[in-house]
Amino acid sequence: QVVAVYGTLSDLLSVASNKLGIKATSVYNGKGGLIDDIALIRDDDVLFVCEGEPFIDPQTDGRPQEELTGSHTDWLTLNVGGRYFTTTRSTLVNKEPDSMLAHMFKDKDAWGNKQDHRGAFLIDRSPEYFEPILNYLRHGQLIVNDGINLLGVLEEARFFGIDSLIEHLEIAIKNSQPAEDHSPISRKEFVRFLLATPTKSELRCQGLNFSGADLSRLDLRYINFKMANLSRCNLAHANLCCANLERADLSGSVLDCANLQGVKMLCSNAEGASLKGCNFEDPSGLKANLEGANLKGVDMEGSQMTGINLRVATLKNAKLKNCNLRGATLAGTDLENCDLSGCDLQEANLRGSNVKGAIFEEMLTPLHMSQSVR
């Protein structure tokens, strides 16, 4: 019969009783679920009413629902790694019908599941990680107690083939990861690292962020700062002898009076930095290497740079007043608008350098044009 559903559940039972000529006491949906609230009924639902007998689907030739393949609702107990879980067969089957659990319990004894002395089905897996999976199959929500490793639950979900849960777990694991910390390292932190490192061990600070840190007057000899962020740092009076600053960012930093003997600063960026009174000159003959460095606008007044390698470096608008550049390699260097007054350029290699607008007044050694400057 096709009837209009309105009012309360009692009103519906009354209408059904009159239409069908029975004393209707219960209403079921098409899957045999007992309806106890009229709000659960939707348009075009097929409903079954009875006078109190158990639900029997007409399409099953009168066989009880529990006997149908894939529709078991009988209770069972699982022994998972020594811990017991009581659930229903439909819980294990209905939500993920293609999972391993569904195939294990869809048909009775289809997998030949072994049982312990209490009749519980034995599953050799972790009970700690199985519990969230069973609860997910019960109510469709991922709930994991504190202290449970989500990676373990994910592996169990993959093992049992709970595909819809795998995606939830992968998102949860990603969201639980701490955000990458790109905050600069403070002086206090760095000093602690220095004290904890044996003097004969190499301290690798490659790629680390020291931006704005006060590292003045520290002993930083031989430390690997390759590609590190040292912008706006205070490195005044620091000992950077033989340190590796290759491709490091030193823009805007203060290195006044720093010891830079034998320092390696290939392709580093020191634009706008202050290097007044620095010592690049190593008595043992080890030469500082600043080849290809960006030194635009730096202030290197009064620095000792005997034998320094500044080949193809950019020194545009730099202040090099009263510097000792004796024997320096300046081949291909951009010295445009540099202040080189008072510099010692004896035996310096200026081949192919750009000295447009550079100031050479009061040089200690005359500049010979045979050095092929442009």
- pLDDT given at position 168: 87
Closest-CA residue to 82 (of 38, 145, 128): 128
Is the separation of the CB atoms in 278 and 255 below 8 Å? yes
Instruction: Give domain 1-62's CATH number out of 3.40.390, 1.10.3210, 1.10.10, 3.10.20.
Output: 3.10.20
Is the separation of the CB atoms in 300 and 276 below 8 Å? yes
Q: How confident is the model at residue 183 (pLDDT cuts 50, 70, 90)?
A: confident
Q: Which two tokens stand for residue 347?
A: 């035996």
DSSP string, 39-66: GG--TT---EEESSSPP--GGGTT--GG
pLDDT digits (tens, 9 = 90+) for 139-165: 888 888 888 899 999 999 999 999 999
- pLDDT given at position 362: 56
pTM: 0.52
Q: What percent of the chain is helix, strand and coil (3-state, nearest 5)?
A: 20, 15, 65
Neighbours of 181 (CB within 10 A): 6
Is the separation of the CB atoms in 97 and 104 below 8 Å? no
Distance from the Cα of residue 267 to its chain's centroid: 29
> Bridge partners of 139?
none
Answer positive or negative: Cα dihedral of 316, 319, 322, 324.
negative
Q: What is the mean pLDDT of the chain?
A: 85
**Across residues 271-294, what is the average pLDDT?**
92
Is the separation of the CB atoms in 235 and 243 below 8 Å? no
The two beta strands, 26-28 and 83-88, are: unpaired
pLDDT digits (tens, 9 = 90+) for 230-246: 999 999 999 999 999 99
Show the CA angle centred on residue 17, arms to residues 15 and 28, nearest 5°: 85
> In the CATH scheme, what architecture does the domain 75-175 have?
2-Layer Sandwich (3.30)
Reduce the DSSP state of residue 124 to 3 states and report it: coil
- pLDDT given at position 18: 87
CATH class of 181-373: mainly beta
Counting other chains too, the contacts that 318-324 makes at CB distance below 8 Å and 24 or more residues apart are: 324/281
Q: Where are the domains of the chain?
A: 1-62, 75-175, 181-373
User: What does the alpha-carbon distance between residue 329 and residue 348 come to, in Å, rounded to a whole number?
Assistant: 6
Biggest distance spanned by C-alpha atoms of the chain: 124
DSSP state of 69: T
Q: How confident is the model at residue 175 (pLDDT cuts 50, 70, 90)?
A: confident
Show the CA angle centred on residue 56, arms to residues 53 and 61, nearest 5°: 135
The two beta strands, 83-88 and 121-123, are: unpaired
Q: Which amino acid is at 373?
A: V
